[in-house]
């Protein structure tokens, strides 16, 4: 098991814009999260769906915003009809695959409800030296629930906030928008898939620009039973002492390396996959989680339950090591 189900209760439900609901989940203990994080929520009749966190009370509540789509059978309609204050809902701990990385200048692209992870990032940048610009695309003025706070953050940071209301005229072309944009360093985008594909296409033609997206279709959080048991035979069964060097085979990319006692697996993975997502790098947030295909991990994180550790099928590569001479990872 990778993530532990959390029985939560809905303690707030507000309509914060046309067809936009704010939902607050409360539980006895909710793991801390970092800007850009999301949670998975069990939606009746639809299974798990991912939602970016807007904010919450430390370890007590998570808050999300949901755009209600009028498609019959959609998760958002189920939320509208079945999630009320007092409803019991199963959720999963926050995980961050869209963390904000250090940069001197950020460009944020948000479409519709895609503003939610961007908002938490802008709050994080509040008071920092980083410069930023945010392009926010909405259908109508009554679907911008966080606009006052965005304007306040932009004023404080002396940053540029451009709001594009498409209405019936269609969305502003990103190609035109970027045509005269010469200051691109780190670009973060969140919105519908077509929007992010368009952004990726444009940004990929610029040299040296780091581009990050939140795409829940591509990045489903894996939960219990969705990964194979690790194989332990040969070197992946040979036990070593706790701090000894060990071999890592990255099955998907074909890379192998040795992790010395003073190194982490992440140190090496960074050289192979420079944009590999991490956040806390202390084994707390769950962002760097990897599936283990062979060998036995020596868990040193504070993320997993004892039950999840015993399973051994996943690990946090920022801190955890190996109990066997070799680990095979799904990287
Ligand atoms: S980066 Fe947070 S657990 Fe590894």
CATH number of the structural domain spanning residue 164: 3.40.50.80
CATH number of the structural domain spanning residue 253: 3.10.20.30
Give the pocket of ligand 1 (CB within 6 Å). Answer: 278-281, 283-288, 301, 303, 316, 318
Complex ipTM value = 0.99
User: Relative to the CA of 279, which ligand 1 atom is closest?
Assistant: 1
Say if CB 27 and CB 117 are below 8 A apart.
no
- Residue 54 belongs to what domain range? 6-91
What sign does the dihedral 287-288-289-291 (CA atoms) show?
A: positive
- pLDDT (tens, 9 = 90+) of the chain, 331 residues, equals 345 789 999 999 999 999 999 999 999 999 999 999 999 899 988 888 889 999 999 889 999 999 998 877 788 999 999 999 999 999 988 888 788 888 999 999 999 999 999 999 999 999 999 999 999 999 899 999 999 999 999 999 999 999 999 876 677 888 888 888 888 899 999 988 778 878 888 887 888 888 888 866 543 333 333 445 666 667 777 888 767 899 999 988 889 999 988 889 999 999 988 878 877 787 777 788 888 988 989 888 877 777 677 667 889 999 899 988 999 998 8
Tell me which of 180, 214, 248 is where a domain ends.
Answer: 214
Structure tokens at 19: 């067809």
CATH number of the structural domain spanning residue 28: 2.40.30.10
Ligand 1 pocket test, candidate residues 95, 284, 302, most atoms within 8 A of CB: 284
Largest pairwise CA distance in the chain? 66
Tell me which of 185, 214, 243 is where a domain ends.
Answer: 214
Tell me which of 62, 91, 120 is where a domain ends.
Answer: 91
**111 vs 109: CA distance, rounded Å:** 7
Q: Tell me, yes or no, whether 126 lies in a domain.
A: yes
Q: What is the DSSP string of 36-74?
A: T-EEEEEETTTEEEEEEEEE--TTTEEEEEEE----TT-
For the beta carbon of residue 113, count every other beta carbon within 10 angstroms: 25
Ligand 1 pocket test, candidate residues 279, 297, 302, most atoms within 8 A of CB: 279
Structural domain count of the chain? 3
Angle between helices 147-157 and 115-125 (to 10 degrees): 30
User: Relative to the CA of 277, which ligand 1 atom is closest?
Assistant: 1
User: Which residues have a Cβ under 8 Å from the Cβ of 297 and sit 6 or more positions away?
Assistant: 312, 315, 320, 321, 322, 323, 327
């Amino acid at each position: 098991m990778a993530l532990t189900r959390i029985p939560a209760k809905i303690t707030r439900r507000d309509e914060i814009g046309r067809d936009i609901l704010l939902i607050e989940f409360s539980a006895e203990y909710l793991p801390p999260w970092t800007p850009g994080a999301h949670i998975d929520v069990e939606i009746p009749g639809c299974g798990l769906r991912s939602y970016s966190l807007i904010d919450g009370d430390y370890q007590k509540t998570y808050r999300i915003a949901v755009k209600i789509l009028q498609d019959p059978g959609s998760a958002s309609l189920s939320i509208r009809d079945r999630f009320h204050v007092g409803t019991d809902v199963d959720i999963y701990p926050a995980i961050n695959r869209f963390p904000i990385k250090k940069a001197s200048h950020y460009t944020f692209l948000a479409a519709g409800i895609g503003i939610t992870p961007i908002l938490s990032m802008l709050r994080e940048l509040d008071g920092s030296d980083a410069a930023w610009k945010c392009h926010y695309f909405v259908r109508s003025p009554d679907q911008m629930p966080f606009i006052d706070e965005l304007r306040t953050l932009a004023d404080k940071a002396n940053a540029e906030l451009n709001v594009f209301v498409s209405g019936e005229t269609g969305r502003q072309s990103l190609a035109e928008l970027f045509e005269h944009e010469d200051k691109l360093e780190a670009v973060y985008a969140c919105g519908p898939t077509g929007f992010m594909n368009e952004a990726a296409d444009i940004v990929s033609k610029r040299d040296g620009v780091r581009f990050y997206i939140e795409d829940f279709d591509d990045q489903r959080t894996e939960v219990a039973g969705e990964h194979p048991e690790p194989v332990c035979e040969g070197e992946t069964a040979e036990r070593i002492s706790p701090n000894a060097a060990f071999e890592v085979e990255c099955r998907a990319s074909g890379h192998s390396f040795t992790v010395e006692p003073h190194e982490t697996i992440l140190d090496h993975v960074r050289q192979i996959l420079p944009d590999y997502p991490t956040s806390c790098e202390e084994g707390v947030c769950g962002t760097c989680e990897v599936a283990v295909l062979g060998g036995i991990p020596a868990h040193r994180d504070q993320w997993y339950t004892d039950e999840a550790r015993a399973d051994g099928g996943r690990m946090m590569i920022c801190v955890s090591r190996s109990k066997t001479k070799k680990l095979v990872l799904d990287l």
